[in-house]
Structure formats: structure tokens, C-alpha cells
Amino acid sequence: MTNERRPGGPRRPQWVRRTVMLGIAVLFNGCAALASHFWNGQSWSTVLWLATSLSLVVTAVMETKERRRSRPQGD
């Protein structure tokens, strides 16, 4: 008798994983932007642009790594 399930548990839908990745990126980069505002005295508009751009870049990198990992390995 073989186990048909993939190791690592059930797969979540794609939009759930993307939303969670974006939420994590916004949380960490938002904290970094707040620290930049309070410690360096940068304006709020600069801080919001920083947090937004960093969140999008981090999410794109994580998505690219996920796609490369799930791609079938061929010769």
C-alpha cells in the first residue's frame, strides 16, 4: 500500500500562499520603514514608498523561488 500524498502536508491554493507571503513582507518591511522614520527622521511619504517597494520586491523574489522549486527537473 503506497501513500499517495506528497510529503509536507496538503497544498494550499496559490492565492492563499501569495497573500500570506505579501502579508509577511509588508509586516517586516513596514517595521523597517517605521524604524527608518523614527531613527533617521525620514518623511512619511519616503517611508511608505520604501515599505511598498521592498514588500513587492521580496514577494516577487519569493514567488520566483517557489516557481523554480516546483518546476519539473529535466535534463
Tell if the pTM clears 0.95, that is, is over it.
no
Name the 3-class secondary structure at 67: helix
Is the predicted pLDDT of residue 2 greater than 70, yes or no? no
**Residue of 13 and 64 predicted with greater confidence:** 64
**Tens digit of pLDDT for each residue in 28-72?**
877 888 888 888 888 888 888 888 888 788 888 888 888 888 777
Quote the CA–CA distance of 34 and 39 in Å, as a whole number.
8
Report how far residue 58's alpha carbon sits from residue 24's, in angstroms, rounded to the nearest whole number: 10
Residues 33 and 50: beta-carbon distance below 8 Å: yes
Please check the confidence at residue 74 and state whether its pLDDT lies above 80.
Answer: no
